[in-house]
Amino acid sequence: MAKNNLLPSGLPRIESMEMRGIVKRFPGVLANDHVDFDVKAGEIHALLGENGAGKSTLMKILYGLYQPNAGEILLNGQPIHIHSPADSIRYGIGMIHQHFMLVDSLTVAENVALGLKSSREPRLDLDRVTTRIRELSKNYGLQVDPDAYVSQLAVGQQQRVEIIKALYRGAALLVLDEPTAVLTPQEVDDLFAILRQMAQDGHALIFISHKLHEILDLTDRVTVLRDGKVIGTRLTAEVTKEDLARMMVGRDILLERVRPPATVGEVRLKLDRVTAVNDDGAPVLRNVSLEVRSSEIVGVAGVSGNGQRQLAEVIAGLWPVTEGRIFLEGREVTNLPPAEMLEAGLSYIPEERMHDGALKEFSVAENLILQDHIREPYSKGIFLDFRHIARHAQEMIRKFDIKTPSQETPLKNLSGGNIQKLILARELARKPRVLIAAQPTRGVDIGATEYIHNQLLQQRAEGLATLLISEDLDEIRALSDRIIVMFGGEIMGIVDNDQTTVEELGLMMAGEKKDLQSLGVAR
Amino acid sequence: MSGELSVLAIIVGIAHSGLRLATPYLYAAIGEMFAQRSGVLNLGVEGIMLMGAYSGFFVTFKTGNLLLGLLAAATVGALMGLAMAFVSVTLQAQQGISGIGLFMFGLGASSLLFKTTLGTVEGVEGFPELRFCLSSLGLNSNYCLSQIPILGEIFLRHNILVYGAFALVPIAWWVLNKTTWGLSIRAVGQNPQAADSLGVSVARVRYVTVTLGGMLAGIAGASLSISLLNIFQENMTNGQGFIAVALVYFGSWAPLGVLAGAMLFSLVNALQLWVQVLGLNIPSDVAVMLPYLLTIITLAFPFRRALQPAALTKPFERGES
Amino acid sequence: MSKRLFWPLTLLVALALIAAQCAAPATEAPPPAKTEEAAPAKTEEAAPAEGAALDIEPIRIAIVMPSTTTDLAWSQAIFDALLRIQEEAGGEDVVEIAYSETMFNVTDAAAALRDYAADGYDLVIAHGTQYGSSLFEIAPDFPDTSFAWGTATDTGEGEGLHNIFAYEARAEQGGYVNGVLAASLSKSGVIGVVGPVEAGDAKLYIDGFVAGAKATNPDITVNVSYTGSFGDTALAAEAANTHINAGADVLTGSAQQVVGAIGVAKEKNVPWLGTQSDQSPLAPDIVVATQLYDWHDTLLDMIKKHQAGELGGTAYQLTLKNGGLTMLYSDSLPEEAVAAAKEAEAGIISGEITIDIE
């Protein structure tokens, strides 16, 4: 702990911040239900909960983006009112949003200066801003070039800009909303080192995450939210992963996945030097070659936006291949329409499930037969056979543990986890030869995640070839036999899961190519 | 054939005409550029120009005071800009459609006002051409700087609004790139959520830019009715406001780009007039198409789209990202 | 289509619309039918004394025009004549006038024409060559309505239509006279013409003008430029400037755009020769002569024919001879110039001068 009352930025500390009895209602939802939460100088306090538990809402209230329906906020014991981000900035509260609040087309210094009074209004004083940024960089170990354009920076560097932005504005209390979601493992380590230093220097930090090991690794206290309510606040040193998972979900959760050894079979999916471009003609996939075999899960890791989505869509026939070829069970399927890809034995769980994977106004039963509704046994001629459809729906709901009031319920009334289970059920019911699963557990609660993971492993045992695309490295590590790392639309390396390390994967995620021989393409 | 016309005289003529023709485009396009840089597409520029042209003309016609006329044009333009801001920022209406509505309003209202208050095309004494004569400095000489060969002939015989239009370019550049306000505009047009999270009022920035854009469009209209043509006629802008909007795209949302676009368009227009006047054997239809063709070709270059403000035409709502 | 392309494309469409507006009036007129040399003026040139009631029944007239009623040119000329008839006939109770102006879009104009006919107007006038093909589709549906259109010579009799009048101004006649005048006035030997679109009435006028100037002084240079638009006032102004820079010391031009050019002529003190409507109120010292279109007698004859049961079939012409075209000369003009002009007028009327145009 710092001995005096000033932070390295030269500004006063926030000794304590308390939120008491915060209530926030949205139409039909009680997002925060009398939430009490507090943080002190020198402490990292984790806020843990499933998607929709109310973490982000609580923090948006603290930052002035939402107004609470009830409750109060105290700063150093004094009640304060926060009506807008400008207010919270004035009180010394800074926020690092999950989606960075940076203007790509501006430089780092311009992003920092944005919204601040200049020392020589109306002219900008970017030279002074630059000097101050350099000071802060030095004091906090946040290396960043003030003159660089944000669009040129790596994600980890962009996050440093966000932190500098907050510090520059005198933030003594910093809220970090899922700050590790987009980082490589090394970048996470760097970030944690910085955050620990900041806490030591007297900052108060709130760390929002749903990754249990990060919370155990970094924080001093942890508060768990579920359905808008506080389930409890604990000293991090006194809890285990299992404790936290139980608090989050309300029941015991098996966190470890058992991936039994399996004998891989024949090559089911093969990409040979596939290249694809976007609307503007810029390549999004370059020379991608890979193979997925029977009884194998191949994980595709990488920081968001490095071509994973396009990889999935290219295979599903939704994105045109400009060069190269794709084979399904030895048969060339390059640029076939999606319907023929399905026919050929491909199943696809899309990344944007509410957008691409299902129709939210349709019922559960209807969604379960979306692709197959024109085939027997669901239809006879041009008519749908509703008896068969209903029977099928019932079976799926039971088998895949889909929690729904009835099979007639519109899909939009289901939780994210249950929607994903439905999509998985539908795709697996088709008895596919190859499954592309893109972000299958993103935004899905731990309980459903556990279920989906086990289903994927069971299908593996039954011979399915799965390409698992995920930005969650833990998920990739838990399920994959081999791991492909993508960066800038290229494959950086293909490694055996049991013989690699997080460090090796992290380097590749940051764009470091593994030596060519190990790419194993031309095998 | 006008054999005795020297090539130099023609070049001077083209350049001089080009500067005059570019004037209304510069006012309107620089104004529109501010609006678009903050994320608002105002397609009503044409209508604002017409109302500005009418107001400037009418007030000058009635009072004989040019500055009062200019003020009237600027005020009416600003008010119409304010209306556009209200509709697009506060009501979050679809910007393209509300802009077209504003254009139709300006077209109809200026015609109606013309019919009820003037009834026929009248003339006024507009802003006079300046000549920069030494005598005005109290020097005992008849010499005027406008007589300086070539440079004086091109640059030193225009009225004050022409100079104003060109002065606007560096001013706009300075405001946009060197002031805190310009930084806010650039940020709001690119990532309003980010600007908002730092306490910049997205609504206020957009209100100011769209109102300013309206004011400049009003002055653009006045530059026709009380400085270049010195008359008012219904629908006299004849599509110039739309070309101004196109010039903003052409100029990649930068003052210098807009200047380049306006000058290219105007010089080619001046050139095609000379081509016809000199009787060069090109069909007039082809000649008058040249400037438009050029604009369209340039607009078609895809690389320019990358420079487009990312939030252009998108209303802002706090909390969404 | 990617979203980013949307606005640039919208702008292109807007540009295309502007271009279409420029191009629309250039529609070719149907081939001239047998021209019946103006029957109307049974030398009723001397219009009835003001105030005297015209001998006509109440009638409802509708007119669709490409520009405004105050354009100081093409549309204003005919609209002023209609107003005069209305006044002479005893006001709105006798002659009801409905009009649609700035109908540069032919589709809109066609809709307006049909609406007026359906609304029971007795005489529906389509004041533009470009409206011809629409008119020929509409007229058969309203056999009791009289239609009129110009600049045109085709009354549709060849297609079995009997309810269409055609009218044109022999603009080349006054153009020729103005050309003679311009050649007499010019000291530099260069004359500038600010044309709108190279077609129809404007082309007739300008061709006549060039012929008149050349006939007076074969060495004279007549520089002709077109702005490509009837309404681009700013470009017309710049065209006038360019002509002056190219040495022109007399200017003329056609269509509503010329008010811009007249403004420049006034500023540079260069004499202007007008056509269609009287533009001298705008610059009394500069507009030194005008070929005035007087549609009064033509329109009145149509009204009378209509009320006598003859719904169409006549092709009218405004000529110097029948008084549909009149020349106005400013007092400031030198006598010999006016004398030369009046000689040309007389020559055209007598047939001694024939004007060769394409």
Are C109 and C139 part of one and the same domain?
Answer: yes
Residue C114 sits in the same domain as residue C140: yes
SS3 A523: coil
B252 in contact with chain C, both atoms CB, cutoff 8 A = no
Highest mean pLDDT among A356-360, B72-76, C143-147, C229-233: B72-76
- Lowest mean pLDDT segment, chosen from B84-93, B220-229, C26-35, C271-280: C26-35
Answer yes or no: do B187 and A106 touch at CB < 8 A.
Answer: yes
Question: Residues C187, C155: one domain?
Answer: no
Single pTM value for the model: 0.80
Question: Which pair of tokens denotes residue B135?
Answer: 């005598």
Task: Give the confidence band of C41 by pLDDT, cuts at 50, 70, 90.
Answer: very low
**Among residues C168, C184, C201, which one ends one of the domains?**
C168
Mean pLDDT over A454-470 rounds to 93
Which residues are A47's β-sheet partners? A208, A223
Residue C271 lies in a domain: yes
- A335, exposed or middle or buried, with CB in 10 Å at 0-12, 13-18, 19+? middle
pLDDT of residue C50: 44
Mind listing the pLDDT tens digit for each residue in A472-486? Answer: 888 999 999 999 999
Q: Percent of chain A, pLDDT > 70?
A: 95
Same domain, C144 and C17: yes
Average pLDDT of the segment spanning A296-321? 91
Average pLDDT for residues C247-265, to the nearest whole number?
A: 93
* Range of A279-283, A503-507, B114-118, B205-209 with top mean pLDDT: B205-209
* Of the residues C115, C150, C168, the one at which a domain ends: C168
pLDDT at position C100: 92
A72-89: average pLDDT: 92
**Residue A71: which pLDDT band, with cuts at 50, 70 and 90?**
very high
Mean pLDDT of all residues in B297-320: 73
Q: Is residue C42 part of a domain?
A: yes
- The rounded distance, in Å, linking the Cα atoms of A388 and A372 is 12
Domain containing C143 equals 2-168
Check residue B4 and give its pLDDT: 61
**What is the per-residue pLDDT for A152?**
85
Residues of A in contact with B180 (CB under 8 A): 113, 116-118, 121-124
| pLDDT value of residue A412 | 78
C287-293 and C190-195 beta bridge pairing? unpaired
φ, ψ for residue B203, nearest 5 deg: -60, -45
Residue C275 is assigned to a structural domain of this protein: yes
B232 Rama sector, left if φ>0, alpha if ψ -120 to 50, beta otherwise: beta
At B309, give phi and psi (nearest 5°): -55, 125
Tell me the domains of chain B and their CATH numbers.
6-307 (1.10.3470)
Given an 8 Å threshold on Cβ–Cβ distance, is C70 in contact with B238?
A: no
Calpha distance A469→A430 (Å, rounded): 20
Number of domains in chain C: 2
CA dist C218 to C210, C212, C214, Å? Answer: 10, 10, 5
Q: How far is CA A19 from CA A120, A209, C301, in A?
A: 38, 19, 91
**Looking at per-residue confidence, does A318 or B168 come out higher?**
B168
- By Cβ distance, the residue of B190, B302, B305 closest to A104 is B190
ipTM: 0.86
pLDDT value for C31: 39
Max mean pLDDT among A70-79, B293-302, C40-49 falls in A70-79
For Cα atoms B225, B231, B235, give the angle at the middle one, nearest 5 degrees.
75
- Decide if pLDDT at A501 tops 80: yes
Please provide the DSSP assignment of A83-95 as one string.
-SHHHHHHTTEEE
The pLDDT score that the predictor gives to residue C11 is: 53
**Beta-strand relationship, C59-64 and A70-75:** unpaired
Mutation choice for A interface testing from B177, B183, B200, B304 by most A CBs within 10 A: B183
Q: Please report the beta strands in A370-472, taking only residues with DSSP state E, as ranges in sequence order.
A: 379-380, 383-384, 434-438, 465-469
What's the CA gap between C143 and C165, in Å, rounded? 13
Report yes or no: B248 at the C interface, CB cutoff 8 Å: no
What amino acid is encoded at B57 in this protein? F
Residues of A with Cβ-Cβ distance to B197 under 8 angstroms: 63, 65, 85, 95, 97, 101
Q: What is the reported pLDDT for B223?
A: 96
Mutate to test the interface with C, among B49, B223, B234 (most CBs of C within 10 A): B234
Q: What does the H/E/C string look like for chain C?
A: CCHHHHHHHHHHHHHHHHHHHHHHHHCCCCCCCCCCCCCCCCCCCCCCCCCCCCCCCCEEEEEECCCCCCCCCHHHHHHHHHHHHHHHHCCCCCEEEEEECCCCCHHHHHHHHHHHHHCCCCEEEECCHHHHHHHHHHHHHCCCCEEEECCCCCCCHHHCCCCEEEEEECHHHHHHHHHHHHHHHCCCCEEEEEECCCCHHHHHHHHHHHHHHHHHCCCCEEEEEECCCCCCHHHHHHHHHHHHHCCCCEEEECCCCHHHHHHHHHHHCCCEEEEECCCHHHCCCCEEEEEEECCHHHHHHHHHHHHCCCCCCCEEEECCCCCCEEEEECCCCCHHHHHHHHHHHHHHHHCCCCCCCC
pLDDT the model gives residue B302: 53
Interchain CB distance below 8 Å, B190 and A103: yes
Domain-embedded: residue C319: no
Give, in order, the Cα–Cα distances in Å from B299 to each of A400, B164, B254. 54, 27, 15
Q: Which residues of A touch B181 (CB under 8 A)?
A: 122
- Whether residue C54 lies inside any domain: the answer is yes
Domain co-membership, C288 together with C336: yes
Contact C63, C165 (CB under 8 A): no
Give the CATH number, domain containing residue C187: 3.40.50.2300
* Chains in contact with B, counting 3 or more C-beta pairs less than 8 Å apart as contact: A, C
Q: Which residues pair with A435 in a beta bridge?
A: A347, A466
Q: Collect all residues of chain A within an 8 Å Cβ-Cβ radius of residue B198.
A: 85, 89, 101, 114-116, 165, 169
Please say if the pLDDT value at position A109 is more than 50. yes
**pLDDT tens per residue, range B1-31:** 444 678 888 899 999 999 999 999 999 999 9
pLDDT, mean of residues B149-167: 93
Partner-chain contact B198 A99, CB within 8 Å: no
Q: How many interchain CB pairs under 8 A, B with C? A: 182
Under a CB-based contact definition with an 8 Å cutoff, are residues B48 and B100 in contact?
no
Of C328, C39, C340, C18, give the one whose Cα is nearest residue C167.
C39
Tokens at A502, concatenated:
């997080």
Give a yes or no: residue C217 inside a domain.
Answer: yes
Cis peptide bond upstream of A263, omega within 30: no
Same domain, C136 and C177: no
Q: Which residues of A touch B183 (CB under 8 A)?
A: 106, 110, 113-114, 124
- Residues of chain B in contact with residue A65, where contact means CB-CB under 8 angstroms, are 197, 318-319
Q: For chain C, what is the mean pLDDT?
A: 85
Radius of gyration of the CA atoms of chain C, in A: 21
Confidence grade of residue A153 (pLDDT, cut at 50, 70, 90): confident
Same-domain check for residues C205 and C77 = no
Whether C206 and C248 share a structural domain: yes
What 8-state DSSP symbol labels residue A275? E
How far is Cα A141 from Cα A307, in angstroms, rounded to an integer?
A: 31
CB contact under 8 A, C282 and B285: no
Residue C300 lies in a domain: no
Kindly tell me if the per-residue pLDDT of A70 is higher than 60.
Answer: yes
CA distance C183 to B35: 52
Confidence check: pLDDT of B160 > 60: yes
Same structural domain for residues C195 and C116?
no
Same domain? C182 vs C51: no
Nearest C-alpha neighbor of C297 from the set C26, C11, C48 = C48
C271 class by beta-carbon count within 10 Å (0-12 exposed, 13-18 middle, 19+ buried):
buried
Per-residue pLDDT averaged across C112-118, rounded? 94
Which residue segments constitute the domains of chain A, with CATH numbers given? Answer: 1-7+14-92+172-250 (3.40.50.300), 102-170 (no CATH), 254-345+432-523 (3.40.50.300), 354-431 (no CATH)
Select the residue of B236, B249, B287 nearest C233 (Cβ to Cβ): B236
Q: Which of C168, C183, C217 is the last residue of a domain?
A: C168
Count the neighbouring beta carbons within 10 Å of the beta carbon of residue A141: 13
DSSP letter string, B174-207:
HHHHHBHHHHHHHHHHH-HHHHHHTT--HHHHHH
C-alpha C303/C-alpha C93 separation (Å) is 15
Cis peptide before A377 (omega within 30 of 0): yes
Nearest to A49 by CA among A257, A244, A241: A244
Provide the angle, in degrees to the nearest 10, between the axes of the packed helices A126-140 and A185-200: 90
Considering only CB atoms, B191 lies closest to which of A60, A103, A280, namely: A103
pLDDT of residue A375: 67
Query: Lowest-confidence range among A402-411, C278-287, C319-328, C334-343?
Result: A402-411
Looking at per-residue pLDDT, the higher value among B246 and C35 belongs to B246
Give the residue, C142 or B289, on which the prediction is more confident: C142
Lowest model confidence (mean pLDDT) among A36-40, C200-204, C216-220: C200-204
Backbone angles phi, psi at C240, to 5 degrees: -60, -45
Of B230, B269, B278, B297, which to mutate for an interface test with C (greatest number of C Cβ within 10 Å)? B230
Specify whether C223 is located in the same domain as C336.
yes
**For the residues C244-257, what does the mean pLDDT come to?**
93
Cβ distance B284 to C4 less than 8 Å, yes or no, reads: no
* Higher pLDDT pick, C305 / C34: C305
Higher pLDDT, B238 or B53: B53
| Structural domain contains residue C308 | no
- C223/B16 CB distance under 8 A: no
Comparison of pLDDT for A208 and A442, the residue scoring more: A208
Q: What is the pLDDT of residues A337-388, one digit of tens each?
A: 888 888 889 999 888 776 677 787 888 888 888 777 666 667 766 777 778 8
Q: What CA–CA distance (Å, rounded) separates A397 from A419? A: 11
Whether residue A2 is predicted with pLDDT greater than 50 in this model: the reply is no
Cβ contact C237–B238 (<8 Å): no
* pLDDT digit string, tens, across residues A5-48: 788 877 888 999 999 999 999 887 888 999 999 999 999 999 99
Query: Could you tell me if C251 and C209 are in contact, meaning their C-beta atoms sit under 8 angstroms apart?
Result: no
Same domain? C69 vs C34:
yes
Q: In this structure, are residues A58 and A225 in contact, taking their beta carbons and an 8 Å threshold?
A: yes
Judged by average pLDDT, the poorest of B38-42, B119-123, B300-304, C233-237 is: B300-304
Which residues in chain C have their CB less than 8 angstroms from residue B17's CB? Answer: 238, 241-242, 245
**Do the Cβ atoms of A114 and B193 come within 8 Å?**
no
Q: Is A101 helix (H, G, I), strand (E, B) or coil?
A: coil
In this structure, are residues C68 and B234 in contact, taking their beta carbons and an 8 Å threshold? yes
Q: Which residues of A touch B (CB under 8 A)?
A: 60, 63, 65-66, 84-86, 89, 95, 97, 99-106, 110-111, 113-118, 121-124, 165, 169, 280-281
Classify burial at A96, counting beta carbons within 10 Å of its beta carbon; exposed 0-12, middle 13-18, buried 19 or more: buried
Q: Which residues of B76-112 are buried (b: 16+ CB within 10 A; e: fewer)?
A: bbbbbbbbbbebbbeeebebbebbbbbbebbbebbbe
Structural contact between residues C63 and C150, judged by C-beta atoms closer than 8 angstroms: no
Q: Given a cut of 70, is residue C42 above it in pLDDT?
A: no
